[in-house]
Amino acid sequence: MLKFLLPVVLLMKLKDDWKSAQMGLGLLSFLVGLSCFHNMYMYSLGFNLGMDYVSYIMVYLSVWIMFLIVISSERVKMMNNFSGMFILVNLVLLFSLLVTFSSLNYLLFYIMFEMSLIPTLILILGWGYQPERIQAGVYMLFYTLSLSLPLLGSLLYIYMKEYSLVMMLSNLILEVSWANSIWYFSSVMAFLVKLPMYMFHLWLPKAHVEAPVAGSMILAGVLLKLGGYGLIRVLLMFQKISLNFSSLWVSISLVGGVVVSLLCMRQVDMKSLIAYSSVVHMSMVLCGLMIFSWWGLMGAVVVMVGHGLCSSGLFCLANMVYERVGSRSLLVSKGLLNFMPSMGLWWFLFSVGNMAAPPTLNLFGEISLIISLMSWSTFTVMGIMFLSFFSAAYTLYMYSLSQHGIFVSSLYSCSSGKVREYLVLFLHWFPLNMLILNLNLVNGV
C-alpha cells in the first residue's frame, strides 16, 4: 500500500506546480490500475493496511476522480484563487480516503473516515460560491459527527470484548437481544448518514449546492461510497441482528427513494436535482447491502462505482454551464442545445447513464439489485417499479428542460466547450460504459 500512499505525500510538495500535480495524479491512477493482476483475497498487506476486491475498486475510484477533479478545476488556477492550497487540500483528502479504504483495523478506519470530513469542509468553506456555504458546512459537520460518536463507543466496546479490532479476525457474531440491537444501531448510524439514507440526507443537497465543482465531484464520486463500504465491513459482526431489521431498512429506502424522486421532479436548481438523484441511487445500494445476498452485494458495489462516475460527470457538466451562464437555475440555463450544441451529446450520454440505460455499469448494478430485492420479497416490486419510473422521469425532465426551449436573450455567444472539458467528460464516460465488458473484477468480490 505504501507505493500508493508515498506518491500522494510527495505530490503535496508539488502543490504550487499545478501541471506536475495533475501529471502525478494521472500516473498514480495508472499505477493503481496496473496493480490488480491476481485473484488473491487480501493483498498489499503491511502497516495495518491491505486491500481486497471491494477496497481495490474504491481506491481506484478515489484516485481516478481526484485526477479528474484537478483537470476540471482549472478555473481555480486561472483566477489565482489559492491554487496551491487547493491542491494540498485535495491531496490530503485523497490520502485519508486511500487509508480509509485500505485499513485493516477498525479504529484506523474510523479515524480516517472522520478525517476525510475536514478537507471536504475546507473545500466547501474556502472555494464555495454563496454565503450559505457556512450553513451547509455546519449541517454536514454536525450530521456526520453527531452519529459518529456512538460508532467510536461501539468500536471501543468491541475491543474490550474481543481484545482486537482487526477486520476479518474477530469471531464476534452477536446474538439477537435488546442490548445488542442498541449496539447494532449505534454502529450502523454513522454510515447511514454518510450514505445518505432517506431522513438523514438533508445535509447532502445543501453541501452539493454550496460546494465548488471539486467538492461536488468528490462528494458524489467517493465520499458517499464511504458509507456503503463501511456497512460492508461492519455488518459482518451484526449479521443475525441485521437480518431482523432488513425489512425496516428496505421499506424506508424504497419509500424514501420514491419520495425523493418526486422531489427531484420539482427542482429548479441543476446541482440540487443531481444531488437528490444521488439519494435515490444510494437508497437502492442500502437495500442491496441490508438483505445479505450475493446479488445484493455485487449490485451495490457496481452501482456505487457507476454512480460515482456518472454523478461526478453530471456535476462537471452543471459546472460548465454555471461558468458560462452564471446561473444553475434550469429556468435561466435552458435551450443549451442552441447555446452549446456540442455539449448536448454529453448531456444526453450522462443523462442516459443516470437513468441506468445500457451499456452503463448502472444498468448491470440496478438489475442485480432488483433481482436481489425480488428474491427477498416479491412485495418490493411496487417500490422498485415507481423508483425506476421516476428515476427516468426526473432525468428526462433535467435533460429536456436544460437542452430545449429558447435560451435567454441576455446570454452572449461563447465557446461550446474546451478540449480540457471534453477530456474530463470522456474520462468519466469511458470507464462507466466500458467496465461492463469486464465484470469479472466485480464478480470476484
pLDDT tens, position by position, for the chain (445 residues)?
Answer: 888 999 999 999 888 888 999 999 999 999 998 887 666 677 778 888 998 889 999 999 999 999 999 999 988 988 888 999 999 999 999 999 999 999 999 999 999 999 999 999 999 999 988 888 999 999 999 999 999 999 999 999 989 888 888 887 766 677 778 888 999 999 999 999 999 999 999 999 999 999 999 999 999 999 999 999 999 999 988 888 999 999 999 999 999 999 999 999 999 999 999 999 999 999 999 999 999 999 999 999 999 999 999 999 999 999 998 988 888 888 888 888 888 888 999 999 999 999 998 889 999 999 999 999 999 999 999 999 999 999 999 999 999 999 998 877 666 656 778 899 999 999 999 999 998 887 765 555 4
Q: What is the dihedral of CA 393, 398, 400, 402, to 10 degrees?
A: 170
Q: Cell numbers of 226, please? A: 464511504
Partners of residue 297 on adjacent β-strands: none
Query: pTM score, two decimals?
Result: 0.94
SS (H, E, C) the chain: CHHHHHHHHHHHHHCCCHHHHHHHHHHHHHHHHHCCCCCCCCEEEECCEEECHHHHHHHHHHHHHHHHHHHHCHHHHHCCCCHHHHHHHHHHHHHHHHHHHHECEHHHHHHHHHHCHHHHHHHHHHHCCCCCHHHHHHHHHHHHHHCCHHHHHHHHHHHHHHCCCECCCCCCCCCCCHHHHHHHHHHHHHHHHHCCCCCCCCHHHHHHHHCCHHHHHHHHHHHHHHHHHHHHHHCCCCHHHHHHHHHHHHHHHHHHHHHHHHHHCCCCEHHHHHHHHHHHHHHHHHHHHHCCCHHHHHHHHHHHHHHHHHHHHHHHHHHHHHHHHCCCECCCCCCHHHHCHHHHHHHHHHHHHHCCCCCCHHHHHHHHHHHHHHHHCHHHHHHHHHHHHHHHHHHHHHHHHHHCCCCCCCCCCCCCCCHHHHHHHHHHHHHHHHHHHCCHHHHCC
